[in-house]
Amino acid sequence: MHEPSKEEIAPVTSQTSSAETPSAATDEPQTKQPGAAMTHREVLESLSGILLGMFVSILATSVVSSSLPRIITDLHGKQSAFTWVVTATLLTTTISTPIWGKLADLVNRKLLIQLALVISVVSAALAGFSHNTEILIGMRALQGIGAGGLTALGTVLIADIISPRERGRYMGYMGAVMGVAMVGGPLLGGVLTDSALGWRWNFFVGLPFAVAAIVVLQRTLHLPTVVKRQVRIDYLGAALISVGIAGLLLWVTFAGDKFDWASWQTAAMVGGSLVVLALAVLAESRAADPIIPLHLFRNRTLVLAVVGSVAVGIAMFGTSVFIGQYMQLARGKTPTQSGLLTIPMVVGLMGSSMVVGRIIARTGRYKKFMIAGAVLLSGGLALMGTIHYDTPLALVAVYMAVLGAGVGMLMQNLVLAVQNTLDVREIGSGTASVAFFRTLGGAIGVSALGAVLSTHVTDLIAKGLAGIGIDPSAMGGDGTLPDLSTLPAPVRTVVEQAFGDSIADLFLIATPIALISLITVLFLKEVPLGNRSGIQQRLEVDGEPLDAPAVPGQPLVGEPVLVTSDGEPVPDARR
């Protein structure tokens, strides 16, 4: 194997470009020498493909958010089908995220993210041919596998090329991409649904973006080859985790609808799932390469971030997916209008992440912003819990902006805090673990809150119809989502009131859960942000000398790379 000399891996400080490097020095003269600091332009080039992949992932999910009530109505689905279209994606995303994260520590990350893109978008396109809710749910479940890869790998690759301290500098780009996808997705989906093309094109529109992302990743993302490890996938652990989590989510979805919360079915499903998860813990403790390395949970920062991420997932996913229903079924808006009306939440998320990211890059301090984010998240949910079917939309917009700002300050910074304290060789597993529990919280939140909404809406509609002298059984009462345009005015008002009050109750239920994130952040110990990218750290740990500063023009300040099990920084041996 070719061993690079010191001259080959020296930091790029002269005006000589890589193209001028003699071909004899390396087999790939066009490739940047490993260990050299990346310039701002090189970071942006590598980041472009990653961000495009994240854009595709968010777009594939968000594009249907404003159209889903219309889609379920056209497919003659019930409230449970609406919930399961969302839950199926979150379920498979949850299960697959730690598997993708483990693979990221073992094999080529660029190939993995391209594979995740293909799975995500092809399955989305297949969902466009659905003729019933069962097929739609199945394709969305397959799409979740790809989304799990993009969720885990996007953040890991960003950690590869950008140091924790400098990551905030590029948060604006990430926030802009997320904002465009989250705002543009519902708008685009609404326009397509209201046009002659119809809602099926919601699922086809991501294909050209996915092809572009794959091409851009291939051309711009250049990762050095580090010490290769034998690939040993923990199939037993993956299977047990999948079965245990799926069992709990199925219980949350069906309890209170198909059977009582306190019933033998509940005992069987919960008891069986817990036994399977206990076996999964045992399997992970004995596996050579566990899907979720249990020793990571000796890291205090990771444990607190995991608990906080579960709370954020429940609060964020478990409520945001129902905002579209509120706008269309409680306010009578079209899918396009529904997408427009959710802009304040995304603006709050994008603005807070951009501003706070730059401040963190300049100061290196992040805990106070996470505390502020947790406060805003809890407050925003509490405010949303006060809305009704006739609350002024301007006031609803303010509440959504507060909620979005809280998510923007908190979600990515939880990941940043964890990555800053992990051994670089376990960045993939650690990052995926946080994403796993955040998505798990979201899946549980959507399932549980969806079950509550279904029951509450049915009861309120029955009471409302009885109050105006209409027999509820005459309206069907099978739980199928109504088409407001076909209802008489008095009945329409009853339905709007029922959905408005029921969805507001969901926000109130999520508020105390969000407070858990505030408690965990308060106990989080702030560790100084490191100044070396993941690539530089991996080369150093694998035995390569590393003399380049993490940021061109700045000295290496000796920030910690590794920490002890409780999150304490390990002194840099080169000081």
Rounded to two decimals, the pTM is 0.68
| φ, ψ dihedrals at 54, nearest 5° | -65, -40
pLDDT at 560: 37
For the ranges 155-159, 423-427, 439-443, the lowest mean pLDDT is seen at: 423-427
More confident site: 50 or 571: 50
Share of the chain above pLDDT 70, in %: 74
Tokens of 226: 């580090």
Check residues 551 and 321 and name the one with the higher pLDDT.
Answer: 321
The average pLDDT across 247-275 equals 82
How many Cβ atoms sit within 10 Å of the Cβ of residue 48?
18
Distance of CA 110 to the CA centre of its chain: 19
Longest Cα–Cα distance in the chain:
89
Per the DSSP assignment, residues forming a β-bridge with 78 are: 480
Which residue has 């290196």 as its token pair? 364
How many whole angstroms separate alpha carbon 429 and alpha carbon 289?
Answer: 10
Tokens representing 487?
């209802």
CA distance 255 to 372: 36
Q: Which of 416, 423, 414, 429 is nearest to 570 (CA)?
A: 423
The most confident of 150-164, 165-179, 272-286, by mean pLDDT: 272-286
Confidence of residue 396 (pLDDT cuts 50, 70, 90): very high
Check whether 90 has a pLDDT greater than 60: yes
One-letter amino acid at 520 equals T
Phi/psi at 416 (5° precision): -60, -45
pLDDT of residue 235: 79
Integer Cα distance of 163 and 173 in angstroms: 15
Residues 6+ apart with CB under 8 A from 532: 163, 540, 546, 550, 556, 559, 561
Q: How confident is the model at residue 250, as a pLDDT?
A: 77
The average pLDDT across 11-38 equals: 41
The pLDDT tens digits of the residues spanning 328-383 come to: 888 888 777 877 888 888 788 878 887 887 788 788 788 889 899 999 999 999 99
Q: Grade residue 6 by pLDDT with cuts at 50, 70 and 90.
A: very low
Mean of pLDDT values over 137-166: 79
480 strand-pairing partners: 78
DSSP string of 400-416? HHHHHHHHHHHHHHHHH
pLDDT at 201 over 70: yes
pLDDT band, very low/low/confident/very high, at 490 (cuts 50, 70, 90)? confident
Residue with tokens 């332009």: 41
With beta carbons less than 8 A apart as the criterion, state whether 439 and 90 touch.
yes
511-543 pLDDT tens trace: 888 888 899 889 888 877 655 555 555 555 555
Amino acid present at 73? T
> Helical H runs in 26-78?
40-62, 68-74
Q: Is the pLDDT of residue 12 over 50?
A: no
| 207 alpha-carbon distance from chain centroid | 20
Give 417's contacts (C-beta < 8 A, 6+ positions apart): 301, 305, 366, 367, 370, 524, 526, 527
Least confident of 376-390, 461-475, 506-520: 461-475
- 506-513 mean pLDDT: 88
Average pLDDT, the chain: 74
Q: Is the pLDDT of residue 179 over 50?
A: yes
Are 55 and 213 a contacting pair, CB within 8 Å? yes
Whole-number pLDDT of residue 271: 92
> According to the model, what pLDDT value does residue 483 have?
67
The percent helix, strand, coil of the chain (3-state, each to 5) is 70, 0, 30
pLDDT-based confidence at residue 152 (cuts at 50, 70, 90):
confident
* Helix (H) or strand (E) run with residue 356 in it: helix 343-363
How confident is the model at residue 329, as a pLDDT? 84
Show the CA angle centred on residue 17, arms to residues 13 and 22, nearest 5°. 110
If we measure between CA atoms, which residue out of 164, 170, 180 comes closest to residue 414?
Answer: 164
Angle at 11 between CA 10 and CA 13, to 5 degrees: 125
pLDDT band at 15 (very low <50, low <70, confident <90, very high): very low
Q: What is the CATH number of domain 40-222+289-523?
A: 1.20.1250.20
Please give the pLDDT value at position 154.
Answer: 75
60: its two tokens: 């594939």
The model's confidence at residue 227, banded by pLDDT at 50, 70 and 90, is: very low
